[in-house]
Structure 1
Amino acid sequence: MDETLGTALRRWRDRLSPIDVGRTARRGRRAAGLRREELAELAGLSVDYVVRLEQGRATNPSAQVVASLARALQLQPMERDHAYKLAGLLPPREGTISTHVPAGIQRMLARLGEFPVGVFSADWTLLSWTPAWAVLLGDPGARTQIERNLVRSVFATGPRGLAAWPVLHDGDDLKRALVADLRTALVAHPHDHGLIDLVTEMRSSSTDFARLWDEGAVGLHVSARKTIVHPQVGEVTCDCDVLTVPGCDVRLVVYTVAAGSADAEKLEFLRVTNGVPTHDSIPPVPGPFSTP
């Protein structure tokens, strides 16, 4: 029998342990792998849509849906490309930005759920985040894909600006690093129309961006202290580290606080009052782009 996207999704779902996505494998659980409900939650899709995909009744998923499913199922790059082909889509072409989050990174996020961690693509669009990130910085799931782009947020003015990312920035350091990052990304991904459009948009809409771009801004992301203004607890000062993954487009942004500090107490208060569990019981949130 010919393989379909539905049969492949069921096979990939059956092989993925709940522990791999940060869930507890409870005794008496009948499903060896992920349930449809769990896959739907991780991919940001409705359960009904996942059922229709597996049964072959939904036959034209978008590229964003396939990308979300590939992340949720922790597919390897070749498997992800196979999923695109089964859906009748072309896999991401060489020279474009990948939104694929490697399985190892997803498993690490599932075990770092107590920390605010966000995973960004090469154009600085937020792809995935831990519940603690949502508690500290606001729920990204309530924002559009455009609003989840850090470059737009940092350089924008008005309602699309810093209100969505309540961080007190430290001079031009972050801005320079972001511009330098985009310049490097444009060399590495010359065929990515979204990235080209982003640079064009920012050069025309932000005088700061245009100035730094025309100056040929060069900068690196280094460890820095940032202050988040939170409506429940006020200012929370965190150490921010940006980690890159060799051979992969994604960047991990990790916020930590010193143990026993007043900032640690504020972060713990936010976790408790917002129902964020601790340790390895927390799954990362893939950050849905589409919810049929």
Structure 2
Amino acid sequence: MDRRELADFLRSRRERIAPADVGLPAGPRRRTPGLRREEVAQLAFISAEYYARLEQARGPRPSREVLAGLARALRLSDVERAHLHHLAGAPPAPAPGPSREVRQSILDLLDRLPRAAAFVTSATLEVIAWNDLAAALMEDFSALSRRDRNLVRRAFLDPRPGGRRLYGASDPDEFARHAARRLRATAARYPDDPEVAGLVAELLAGSEEFTRLWHSHDVSAVPTLRKTFQHPLVGPITLNCDALDIADRDQQVVIYTAVPGSSSEEALRLLSVIGTQRVDVPG
């Protein structure tokens, strides 16, 4: 526990919050910037004396419950909350399960890529956000249940609509290997999450291919940098594939783009028009 750094950090976070931010009146005699110590203590459900000792670098190591109260009272971001725990000598507990909440800035990014098919996957490869072109290229994810938006399940268990496995992509077997490896790594990061455990059990029970890949214990995945989709309306579309990690959410943004001036770029542009006419998909 770094008492001095913890004290300075708490004070700096307290002084940046205006009383109105937490529903408190400013009052005519307020002489300190931000909140008073006793106000933070009240919001965190701890004693004012104990909080004062923390800011004076004299307090004992706070419990996880106290740290959670302070993080809530001081309106800390995820990064700040983790920093608070490390300063207190109590590293934050791992997340109980994969996050499905997509940051607004990422949702805005998807909308700003009208010439690219882009979507976000969780740590279990569930598609949790997408743009119109991704829906037109692959399928209308808004019409599917959460279960059917999981790409690992689609790779190993689901029937192939129109005889096309994984939307007619040219690398279904390689993607299946990639998905199994990612899911094994995910299961290690979230060993107590029932949803992850249930997905693995379902796949083991329903797919010999997944069982074989699972028992290989491979966790490293080689990304596919280019693939071709056999689309039922516009024919083959060859696209570059890039995956960008969102580390703090354990998510990925997958972006498919065509080479400028190529026939695939024309097909993708046509598909964007056809897709917006066929389906109404939120970004």
The answer to whether structure 1 residue 150 and structure 2 residue 147 are counterparts is no
Q: How does 1:1-292 map to 2 (within 5 A)?
A: 94-159=95-160, 163=164, 165-170=166-171, 172-275=173-276, 285=282
Q: How far 1:284 sits from its partner (Å)?
A: 8.3
List alignment gaps of at least 5 residues for structure 2: 1-76, 80-93
CA contact (8 A) 1:243 1:252 kept: yes
Q: How far 1:163 sits from its partner (Å)?
A: 4.2
Q: Which amino acid aligns with 1:142?
A: A
CA contact (8 A) 1:115 1:132 kept: yes
1:24 maps to which residue?
none
Tell me how far apart the structure 2 counterparts of residues 132 and 242 of structure 1 sit (CA, whole Å): 16
Tell me how far apart the structure 1 counterparts of residues 224 and 169 of structure 2 sit (CA, whole Å): 15
Tell me how far apart the structure 1 counterparts of residues 251 and 129 of structure 2 sit (CA, whole Å): 10
SS at match of 2:249: coil
Once the two structures are superposed, what CA deviation does each residue of 1:73-127 show, in whole Å capped at 9, x if it has no partner? xxx769xxxxxxxxxxxxxx93211101122212222211331101111111111
Q: How far 1:257 sits from its partner (Å)?
A: 0.6
Q: How far 1:131 sits from its partner (Å)?
A: 0.4
CA contact (8 A) 2:118 2:256 kept: yes
Flag the structure with larger Rg: 2
CA contact (8 A) 2:132 2:275 kept: no
Q: Which amino acid aligns with 1:285?
A: P
Q: Which amino acid aligns with 1:205?
A: G
TM-score (norm 2): 0.61
Once the two structures are superposed, what CA deviation does each residue of 1:2-59 show, in whole Å capped at 9, x if it has no partner? xxxxxxxxxxxxxxxxxxxxxxxxxxxxxxxxxxxxxxxxxxxxxxxxxxxxxxxxxx
Q: Which amino acid aligns with 2:282?
A: V
CA contact (8 A) 2:119 2:254 kept: yes
SS at match of 1:166: helix
Which structure has more relative contact order (CA 8 Å, sep 6+)? It is 1
CA contact (8 A) 2:132 2:276 kept: no
What is the aligned length?
191
Note the aligned Cα RMSD (angstroms).
2.7
* Identity between Structure 1 and Structure 2 (%): 30
Q: How far 1:157 sits from its partner (Å)?
A: 4.9
TM-score (norm 1): 0.59
SS at match of 1:158: coil
CA contact (8 A) 1:241 1:253 kept: yes
CA contact (8 A) 1:153 1:162 kept: no
Q: Which amino acid aligns with 1:246?
A: A
